[in-house]
Chain A
């Protein structure tokens, strides 16, 4: 069965601290992996994506993620969190040509001063 697990419902980090959001997936085909961010009252925006090649991908706003096939993981990281990063983060897995994209339950990030 296809699934995406984000084990942390919410995380609180101090501004300037590093961040890692976890994502594990189960998918019946070669996965395309995504992280989306949803800021309060805003729509969903793509942060980064992995299709193939280098397993460490860079995204917008200073985010990066690493694909680890052996662990079926695609964790999101940022070296130094800013207060504006407070938002809900969704991991997603999909493909093209008939394979639907499914999302994890999301991790809400709180940033404290």
Chain B
């Protein structure tokens, strides 16, 4: 499709397990973002990839969180040893030089 695609749309996991969330950005978009949205909360910035530059990881809440972007396209957000407070919707967005973000539908993570 033409939009940002995220998978899985829903993920239920047990505390302590690792999870991977995937994002397929719009083709040709140079920038890719991950945000976290907890229930009733705003969008918390996690990480930002821009072209071939080193990613801005300043929003990652702990070293259990990591992300990579392969070939300047697909990105994977990995959460190790999940905790209940990690439960949230994880949103991916991509953009061009206009700065306008195009969002995916999100991956809802529930940690039991």
Interface residue ranges, A against B (CB under 8 Å): 32, 34, 36, 43-44, 46, 49, 51, 90, 92, 94-98, 100-106
Contact = CB atoms under 8 A, between A and B. Distances in A.
A103 B99 contact: no
B110 interface: no
A100 B91 CA distance: 15
A98 B33 CA distance: 12
Contacts, number: 56
Interface size class of B (residues with CB under 8 A): 20 to 34
A88 to B, nearest CB: 9
Given A43-B106, A100-B45, A103-B43, A49 B53 contact: no
A43 B103 contact: yes
27 contacts: A34-B99, A34-B100, A34-B101, A36-B101, A43-B104, A44-B91, A44-B93, A46-B101, A49-B98, A51-B98, A51-B99, A92-B101, A94-B101, A95-B99, A96-B31, A96-B98, A98-B50, A98-B56, A100-B45, A100-B56, A101-B33, A101-B45, A101-B99, A102-B45, A103-B43, A104-B42, A106-B43
Contact of B100 (A49, A97, A98, A105): A49
B70 interface: no
Given A43-B106, A44-B91, A101 B101 contact: yes
Interface string B46-85: 0010100100100000000000000000000000000000
